[in-house]
A and B are shown apart, each in its own frame.
Chain A
Amino acid sequence: MQSLSKAEKSYIQVGLLSSPPSRSDGRSLLDYRSVALETGVAPLANGSARVNIGRNANQAGGGTEVVAASKLEVESIDDDGGVEGGRIVCTVSCSPSAYPHLSSGALDDIQQDMTTILHQTLAHPSLHPNNLSILPRKKSWLLNLDVLVLADAGNVYDALFIAARAALWDTKVPRTRSVEYKARKTTGTKPGGTGDMDVDEETPSGFDTRQIQNATDFELPDYWDEGEVLDGREKWPVCVTLNLVPPVHYLDATGQEEAATPLRLLLMFTFPPNGPADVQAMRMLGPGELKITQLKDLIVTGEKYAHDLYHSLNVKLKEEDVRRNQKARDRFEQHR
């Protein structure tokens, strides 16, 4: 939060409340700055994305920059805290360069607040993907979603959720196959029956429950295979931050605008393929109060903004997939 003089704050507030409303950079109340998005920025992660809102031209930097990456770990159920069906843990860390004026204690607090909001929204059971299990009752995947805030020029929560969604969209879960070990029987006792020596060639799928009752371990059928996409990637929510100067609301605030109008409403929506949208999470932040009718109207209009954001984001993510496939193909051609 930048410090502004009373005159500057009043200038911004009066500008927003006037008709027609005016903002410091000429945008309308509902305009976003340009959002740059790229997936696959961390090759060692199972899925990653980088988002920058309001970047200056010519790589001059600036803007709100966020990088998200997901990494999958194997954990044993009951021992390490693993849960049947896998689990997701989200963490946000803020680089001190994003908030140079804050002490490390205040930085920790901001980190924790962002982590709580992100984790409580994304790790909710209603969004849980169903391909995070490896061996039922024995082993499962732990998906660590780590998000790093590199710079904050306003609207950091929208950036966090866009990056998280893009990284989860990009995540590939390695395919596993369960393996059963049986002691080698000495010859002469019984003729070789079914299920004798190596069993692996008969279990193509780790989820075939008839054959893995005794499965004790798993292997990767193809070491170089990236894996399958994370299930339910259409369901991940998008976040819209409505900055409030009652009776007006606006989107994508810059750092100065956030300091002048600290009251905001975070709305996270998820859009199932058929049916109306669901509210995945909601938070009110900042000093201020609303009438309940205003709050209800904001939720309804917020859904429209989230809808636009959702569709534009999906189009961009598909473009990114195509671009990376194309790039991989070009590289392959080059080195052939």
Chain B
Amino acid sequence: MATQTGFDRRRINGPEESHPPTFQVEEDFESRRWKLGEPRRTRKSADIRPIFLQPGLIDQANGSAYVETERTKIACAVYGPRQSKNAAYNEKGKLNVEVKFTPFSCERRRAPMRDAEDRSIAVAIHQALVPSVRLELLPKSTIDIFVTIIEADGIEGCVASGTVAASTALADAGIEMLGLVISCAASVVGTEIWLDPTEEESRSSQGTLVLSCMPALETVTSVWQSGQIKIEKVLECMSACQERCIDVHSVVAQALVENL
């Protein structure tokens, strides 16, 4: 039998019996995959992922913050207020938000150029922050906010964490604000509302909503929703987000105070 399998005395042969390698990972991936109708894995539907927030990480900037929640990592730097480069006179200060994804932040490599997605997140963060900063005290000045997304886990997560990072960085820079802005994302899956969805969860949901508010003043500064959600569910989502924002607010306030 050995001679029939090609045993060659002149060469070093491999083992007589060999099997193709099996990739265990495939089956695990399949079984890990969430299916519609099942309850949420790893946390409760109303739980958000733990937040790590560190202000003052970047020295050269006037203010900075780094936020991390499981698989979303965002660094934010604030420069300003400084002189507007525009020749035109502006009575109120300008808030300029720029967002950049690093090429390794998503599953598929992103080109280093700025594209439409960067701008849409920048617009969302700008919309959330503008009512909170006292721009009327800063004529002819610009505040530049640079947000770098080091690892992204869904657009809604980026917007929510980015707003928190930017607001913390503004406070770290000593810019006068009416209050801290906190954002929370929610998605509707079946009949449940899951807060702080991951990318996978929001993709399989019917719709997602991001609410930005100032818990100290109890006002909403921005709301962004996409997908098909019944009106009552939308109202429920907003209430759930607002409650969660109050919790996050105390975390952020504490981190700022500890850092002083």
Contacts and interface: CB of A to CB of B under 8 A. Distances in A.
Interface in A270-328: 270, 276-292, 295-296, 299-300, 303
Contacts, number: 94
Interface in B172-215: 206-207, 209, 213-214
Name, among A121, A285, A287, A303, the residue most crowded by chain B CB atoms within 10 Å (CB to CB): A287
Given A116-B116, A116-B120, A126-B207, A292 B225 contact: no
A233 to B, nearest CB: 16
B234 A292 contact: no
B127 to A, nearest CB: 6
B131 A116 contact: no
22 contacts: A112-B116, A112-B120, A113-B119, A115-B116, A120-B120, A124-B207, A126-B207, A270-B228, A278-B230, A279-B228, A281-B225, A282-B223, A282-B225, A283-B223, A284-B221, A288-B131, A289-B214, A289-B221, A291-B219, A296-B235, A299-B231, A300-B231
A120 B226 contact: yes
Contacts of B104: none
Contacts of B234: 279, 282, 299
A279 B220 contact: no
Interface of A: 109, 112-113, 115-116, 120-121, 124, 126-127, 265, 270, 276-292, 295-296, 299-300, 303
Contacts of A286: 127
Interface in B203-259: 206-207, 209, 213-214, 217-231, 234-235, 238-239, 242
Contacts of A116: 116, 119-120, 123
Nearest to A269: B231
A25 B154 CA distance: 45
Contacts of B119: 109, 112-113, 116
A303 B120 CA distance: 26
B177 to A, nearest CB: 13
Given A292-B220, A299-B235, A279 B225 contact: yes
Given A280-B228, A282-B209, A284-B127, 11 more contacts: A112-B120, A120-B226, A124-B226, A279-B225, A282-B225, A284-B224, A290-B219, A291-B219, A292-B218, A295-B220, A295-B223
A270 B222 CA distance: 22
A162 B201 CA distance: 32
Nearest to A116: B120
A265 B230 CA distance: 18
Contact of A292 (B120, B213, B230): B213
Given A116-B119, A292-B242, A126 B227 contact: yes
Contacts of B235: 296, 299
Contacts of B61: none
Contacts of B116: 112, 115-116
B238 A292 contact: yes
A172 B56 CA distance: 57
The 10 closest A-B pairs by CB, nearest first: A282-B225, A289-B219, A126-B228, A116-B120, A278-B228, A289-B131, A287-B130, A284-B222, A279-B234, A281-B226
A165 B148 CA distance: 37
Interface string B108-151: 00000000100110010001001100000000000000000000
Contacts of A284: 127, 220-224
Nearest to B221: A289
Contacts of A124: 207, 226-228
B123 A289 contact: no
A105 B126 CA distance: 18
Contact of B239 (A270, A287, A292, A299): A292
B227 A280 contact: yes
A291 B214 CA distance: 10
A300 B235 CA distance: 9
B230 A279 contact: yes
Contacts of B227: 124, 126, 280-281
B221 to A, nearest CB: 5
B229 A279 contact: yes
Contacts of A127: 228
